[in-house]
Amino acid sequence: MAKKNGAQTVETIPGRKIVLSAGKGKTNVDEIKWLTNTVLAEAASWKSGWAYIADCSGMDPVTPAEGGELVTMTQKFVAAGCKAIGFAEGYSVMLKVQAKKNTERSNTGILEGHFATVQEALDWLQKEAKL
CATH of the domain at 87: 3.30.750.24
Residue range(s) defining the domain that contains residue 94: 3-128
d(CA 82, CA 48): 6
d(CA 14, CA 61): 29
d(CA 87, CA 100): 9
pLDDT score for 107: 80
Tell which wins on pLDDT, 115 or 47: 115
1: number of Cβ within 10 Å: 5
pLDDT score for 61: 87
Query: pTM to 2 decimals?
Result: 0.92
pLDDT score for 101: 77
pLDDT score for 95: 66
Number of folded domains that form the chain: 1
HSE of 69, CA atoms in CB hemisphere, 13 A: 16
